[in-house]
Every structure is written in structure tokens, then in C-alpha cells.
Amino acid sequence: MDRSEKRHQKDIQKHVDYETMKLRKQAGKLRRSLKKTKGSGGKPVTEENWEQVVEQRKTRGRPSRDELVHQLRVSTDETPAQSTDVDKHAAIVIFVAGGRCRVFRDGQEIDCVITPEVAVRQQSALAVGDRVELDENRAVKAVLPRRTVLSRPDPNNPHRQRLIAANLDMVIHVVSVKAPPLRPRLIDRFFIAIQRGGAQPLLCVNKIDLLSDEHELSQLEPYRELMPIVLCSTKSGEGLEALRMAVQGKTCALVGHSGVGKSTILNALDRRLEIATADVHKGGTGRHTTTASTLYDLGEETYLIDTPGIREFGLWDLQLDTLRDYFPEFAEAAQWCRFNDCSHLHEPDCEVKRRVERGQISRARYETYARLAAELASSSS
């Protein structure tokens, strides 16, 4: 394995969820064992074994590790995961502040301290959405493995990750087109962070009551094939039912620039929440801001997490040679590039660049890719 491949593996492993990590290990073992038995195809063909031999010949090329992971996932999905029993009794973190947190367990909210063992490991030791175990004094003594995460670099130390939330099924990036104006670059960055953390993305375009014609949505065109999009307005009520259905039974975080309407949407989805929005604070001293992530229980296994408004979104510990994996629309074209490991930046005979020229791949998305690649190259040199 060369250095870049090793780095790639490390990079992937750091960000895949726990279950996938386990499956990858199993798949690797399985794949190695397939290699060992490869020679056994030379056995004489008999009435009894001919079907097996034909089957083996068909699959002479070993399945890739990803194919095996897929097969294993399908087989484990059929039998419920053993950890669910533990998860049911675990407490879920709804708020973290300093050395304390508030958790939800068996229908009760409990204030807890975080034991030093948990706290000292790293700054992001605990996040909203974490499943935790409490000791007899109601202190958090352990954090259970996370299924997914959403993280960003710590503004004070870019090499360290800061968790925004954990165990999310879906991350809803809320944007508005006019006020505040749409920022496609932020969509691109969130999309990378969501893919790396393992949750599903959803783009929620709020305040569509402010739009006068359809052309104002043209900047969203490249995202239609990348993630589901819900257009909505908390003023007219349009799209709220679709949003309600999308979050049903899931744990979802709402992220985005402040002022796009995250808190208003949460209140619209469940009137009981009464989260403070910008309107409540009008005439007050400062702007309203959600300062820390908070989890709300909407019942029926639906949990929504409000997060602080994010203006800038750095990318945590990203490698130049894996950046292209987060632009799924390049993948098909990349098979036709002259070089296998084409970065789609300087190489001749690059199909990705060709399709950008032809308008088949969004130029805006490609430019984000090139800009991020340049950023990564300069930070690693």
C-alpha cells in the first residue's frame, strides 16, 4: 500500500460511522480469506461440484471490499443490531455547556456533570445527540460509539475537530435565496461535511414567499441531482408538510447561516417548541443567536437539533487526494480520464474538465472543487 492509499484509508476510517468501520474490518478479512482459497478452483469437476465451480469462475476477480461491505450490511440489516438494547436504556444528550450537560432518559430530563475521563479526552468529547451512560451519581461516565457525526474544524485549532452534533440520520441545510442571499459555496462545504460524517443531506430552501420568479432558483440547479430539496415558507406554510414527512422518525440537525429561518421552521414544525427567533428579539439589545446546539424531542422517535448559525465552514483534516470523492457528479466522467488518479486540475485529456466545458457538469461546482484543492495544497505545503 503506498503512502497516499494509506492516508486515504485513514481519512476514510476516521469519518465513517462505527458500524461501517466494523463491516470494513470484516470485509477485509473475508477478502483475504478468498484470496487464500483461490487455488482450490483446480479441483476436478464432478457431478456434485460443477455448479460451484462455474460460480467460482464467474467471480474469479475477487469482489472489492466495498462490495463485501455492501453484502455484509444487507445481511446485518436483516438481523437487528445487538446494540439497540443498550441504546434504548442509554441517555441522549440534549444540551452541553461547559462541564455539564442535560440528558433525556426514560422520559425524564436530567442535569449531569461530565466525568473527567470523558471530558479530558478532547474538547469535542461530548456532543448533542450522543448516547451516554450515567453512573449512580448521574455523571456521564461513557459515550457510546457514534453512528454518524457532523463536525467542523475548531476555529482556534484547525487540526482539531469540533462536533456540532452526533448520531444524526439527516442534516438539513436551511438556506434562503434573497434575505440573506444564497451562498452556494456554503452548500458545497456543508455537503462535504455531511458526506464525511455519514448522515443524509437535505437542502431546505426557505422564504420562497419572497421570490418573484422561478429564475431566482437557477443557482440551485446543480444540487438537484445531489440531494433532496424542499422549497418552503413559514409565512405561507408551503412545503412544511413535506419537511414534516422528511423528518418523521429521524434525528435531524438544522444547520445554516443565521437569519435563514431555522428557529422559525422548528416552531412551525411543532408549535409547542416556542424557540426564540429573530422576531422575538426585535428591539432588544443584540441580534438573536442560537449559541449552542439543542436537541428537541418531537415525539415518535423524531428529534430535531437547532444549531448555531454558521457563516464560514472550514473543512476539517481533508486530504487533497480524497477531495474528489466528495464531488459524486465527477465519478462517472472520471472513468474516462486518461489517468486513473486524475485530479481533474492540470492533467491532459481530462473528461471532467471536458464535461464542464460542455455544460454537463456545473462550472460553479467545479470551481468550488478547484478552489478547495488550491486551499488544501497551500495549507499542506
What residues make contact with ligand GDP under the rule CB under 6 A?
206-207, 209-210, 233-235, 258-264, 277-279, 288, 309
Q: Strand 100-105 and strand 108-114: pairing?
A: antiparallel
With CB under 5 to 8 Å by kind, the binding choice for 264 among Zn ion, ligand GDP, none is ligand GDP
CB-nearest residue to ligand GDP: 261
Q: Which is nearer to Zn ion, 15 or 344 (CB)?
A: 344
- Give the Cβ contact number of residue 299 at 10 Å: 8
Q: Which is nearer to Zn ion, 187 or 342 (CB)?
A: 342
Q: Which is nearer to ligand GDP, 105 or 288 (CB)?
A: 288
Residue 221 CA to residue 361 CA, distance in Å, equals 11
| DSSP helix/strand/coil, 341 | coil
Q: Which is nearer to ligand GDP, 198 or 239 (CB)?
A: 239
Residue 295 CB partners (closer than 8 Å, separation 6+): 92, 93, 94, 95, 104, 128, 129, 165, 251, 303, 304, 305
Q: Shortest approach of ligand GDP to residue 213 CB, angstroms?
A: 16
Q: Is 64 left (phi over 0), alpha (psi -120 to 50) or beta?
A: beta
With CB under 5 to 8 Å by kind, the binding choice for 342 among Zn ion, ligand GDP, none is Zn ion
Of the candidates 342, 356, 361, 372, which one interacts with Zn ion according to CB under 5 A? 342
One-letter amino acid identity for 77? Answer: D
Q: Which is nearer to ligand GDP, 7 or 235 (CB)?
A: 235
With CB under 5 to 8 Å by kind, the binding choice for 344 among Zn ion, ligand GDP, none is Zn ion
Q: Shortest approach of Zn ion to residue 335 CB, angstroms?
A: 10
350 contributes a contact to Zn ion by CB under 5 A: yes
Write out the three cell numbers for 373: 484543492
At residue 196's C-alpha, the angle toward residues 29 and 309, to 5°, is 155
Phi first, then psi: what are they for 360, rounded to 5°? Answer: -90, -20
Contact residues: Zn ion, CB under 5 A: 337, 342, 344, 350, 352
